[in-house]
Amino acid sequence: MREIEQRAARAYREKFGEEPELVASAPGRLNLIGEHTDYNGGFVLPCAIDRRIAAAVGKGGFETRLYSADFDETRRMDDRDSSWADYPRGVAWAMGEAGHEIEAFRAAFAGDVPLRSGLSSSAAIEAATALVLDAFFGLGIGRTDLAVLCQRAENDYVGVGTGIMDQYASLLCEAGAALLVDCRSLEAQSVPLDLEAGGLSLVVCDTRVERGLADTGYNDRRATCERAAARLGVEALRDATEGELKLLSGEELKRARHVVTENARVLKAVEALRDRDFDEFGRLMYASHASLRDDYEVSTPELDTFVETAEEHGARGARLTGAGFGGCAIALMPEGETAELADACEQAFARRGFEEPAFYEFVPAAGAELATGIEE
């Protein structure tokens, strides 16, 4: 059992006075390339990070109870209350909506995914809940369907209109690999992400800017993409070609140009990874960032500063990751040069009067898993 799974099991024991029956955990994610393409029916290439949220469950008696070891609080099934509990509630709700029988249960959660950083702690708690409830109630739902249920929980219960990327990554990624997802057909395949062979590490900078504008900014972008697709007479921008872009203008042109070029970059990035061509992969990352900054307009001065500083310090590639408007950026750095980049970046942030950033190095990790061997 992973340490975080043991913590959830211990929390269950302490809170509910008995052994949990099952434990599962699921990771946060970062997206290597393919941003704002998922809700346009396009391609994404995320990988799971080695930070997880674990859920321990057992029988509930008359009433479902949810306990968070991190917040040290218990919540009931009740109504939505905009707390962490809305995610597991939403998953149980979505399972019910899909016709699955869910009885009362008890669950304890513990996690180490950084919160509110754009690393998908919400997908992690959804995926851990979904996998553990599926096993506990013997529902036999496959992983891709579990991911769709989790997205439904997030969209229709929690009320955040995200695409499918985060839930797919958390449920389907494999260790040492990225996951290419076709967000229209929902087919996914692992692509080896052999950073060691390239002598590289994956550095993440959390700009500590909470994605305050994210909801409106995100929904605006989605709406513009839908208008652009309608104007081109295609179902989604996934179907648009570069040649057709000339039929658009203004904001619709800029947003659509990002989506069309980004989809092409994802497919090229997959080829580059397969060839272990990290120079090409890095170039595509920089191009993705420029497109998100100039055409999609979701970058911030902090994210741009990190990307510029990373480039000056020898990063093969760097870009914002996730929705933008704050949150995190990533860089592919030659191994051993992370500390230097972090120093330089801290100085650059201080000079510009930005919040002090946080840095992480993540290893591409396994997706959601049931833990075996529950013990003291």
What is the set of active-site residues? 166
Min CB(311)–ligand GLA separation in Å? 22
In terms of CB distance, is 9 or 181 closer to ligand GLA? 181
Q: Are 322 and 357 within 8 A, CB to CB?
A: no
288 binds ligand GLA, rule: CB under 6 A = no
Q: Is 39 helix (H, G, I), strand (E, B) or coil?
A: helix
Beta-carbon contacts of residue 40 (< 8 Å; ≥ 6 apart): 183, 225, 229, 236, 237, 238, 259, 263
In terms of CB distance, is 22 or 48 closer to ligand GLA? 48
Alpha helix positions (H), 201-249: 214-232
323 binds ligand GLA, rule: CB under 6 A = yes
Distances (CA, A) of 286 to 262, 345, 350: 11, 17, 24
Range in contact with ligand GLA (rule: CB under 6 A) among 79-87, 90-98, 163-171, 191-199: 163-171
In terms of CB distance, is 317 or 322 closer to ligand GLA? 322
Q: At what angle do helices 301-312 and 278-294 cross, to 10 degrees?
A: 150
Where are the extended beta strands (E) located within 153-272?
177-182, 187-192, 200-206
In terms of CB distance, is 154 or 369 closer to ligand GLA? 154
Min CB(134)–ligand GLA separation in Å? 22
Least Cα distance to 222 among 119, 298, 319 occurs for 298
Look at phi and psi of residue 226 and say left if phi exceeds 0, alpha if psi is from -120 to 50, else beta: alpha
Range in contact with ligand GLA (rule: CB under 6 A) among 31-39, 85-93, 339-347, 368-376: 31-39
238 binds ligand GLA, rule: CB under 6 A = no
Q: Are 151 and 29 within 8 A, CB to CB?
A: no
In terms of CB distance, is 10 or 227 closer to ligand GLA? 227
Sole binder of ligand GLA in the list 322, 326, 357, 364 (CB under 6 A):
322
In terms of CB distance, is 8 or 30 closer to ligand GLA? 30
Min CB(112)–ligand GLA separation in Å? 19
Rounded-to-integer distance, Cα 367 and Cα 47, Å: 9
Least Cα distance to 49 among 357, 374, 337, 328 occurs for 328
Min CB(247)–ligand GLA separation in Å? 25
Q: Are 48 and 169 within 8 A, CB to CB?
A: yes
Range in contact with ligand GLA (rule: CB under 6 A) among 30-38, 72-80, 140-148, 205-213: 30-38
Sole binder of ligand GLA in the list 41, 88, 163, 367 (CB under 6 A):
163
Site for ligand GLA in 36-75 (CB under 6 A): 36, 38-39
Residues that bind ligand GLA (CB under 6 A): 35-36, 38-39, 162-163, 165-166, 322-323
